[in-house]
Amino acid sequence: MSENTTGIIDYGAGNLLSVCNALKSLDVPTRIVKKARDFEGLEKLVFPGVGAFGDSLRHIDEQGLREPLLEWLQADKPFLGICIGYQVLFETSEEAPEVKGLGFLKGQVVRFQSDGHLKIPHMGWNQVKFTDNADPLWRDMPDDPYFYFVHSYYPAPEDKELVSATADYGISFAAGIRKGNICAVQFHPERSQDLGLRFLKNFVAASS
């Protein structure tokens, strides 16, 4: 297997190929992860969106991926969660209260509350504010850039120190987190054109 291979979790839904194609455009060697043995030899791991919290985690459990995923996260190996790949890091979600999240981070995934004027899902380009402009993930980014979002739910981390980016949609919410080599974002870099590719490139470079 090539050095610096990035694994992409196949959880039975979402825009897996879009993320694969984005990474391949950056000449990043990738491998689809469907089973526990597929983790072997990987340097980095990406858990992409789109999908439902409950269905995604049920598929993870059916494929026997929960334990190796948690081992990867607890070992602080380079990880990028995108959209649902961000949300599953938490304990529970209002979308599927009966389904247990990975619980790597404390907190709940909650739904946007509409006042009649706020359209749900939150869909389209939105400004993102970084909490630490010196973070290598944001290298060569303009101040308060725009990224593409598609979601009705967002994580509410208990530890606010983990929040790496915020966005406003009716309220200010955690658009991204970072804990060591574990990072995750609610926006879709693979749909965010040049800045999205820059973000993916920064993730790969920062974790190499």
- Of 122, 151, 183, 188, which is the active-site residue? 188
**Host H or E run for residue 182:** strand 182-185
Active site residue 188: yes
Active site residue 67: no
- Of 20, 151, 183, 190, which is the active-site residue? 190
- Other residues' Cβ atoms within 10 Å of the Cβ of residue 78: 21
- Of 83, 122, 151, 183, which is the active-site residue? 83
**Which amino acid type is present at position 64?**
G
Q: Is residue 128 a contact partner of residue 144, using CB atoms and an 8 Å limit? A: yes
Q: Is residue 29 a contact partner of residue 4, using CB atoms and an 8 Å limit? A: yes
Q: In what order do the strands lie in the sheet with 171-179?
A: 30-33, 6-9, 44-47, 79-82, 182-185, 171-179, 163-169, 129-130
Question: What are the φ/ψ torsions at residue 89 (nearest 5 degrees)?
Answer: -70, -20
Q: Which residues are catalytically annotated?
A: 83, 188, 190
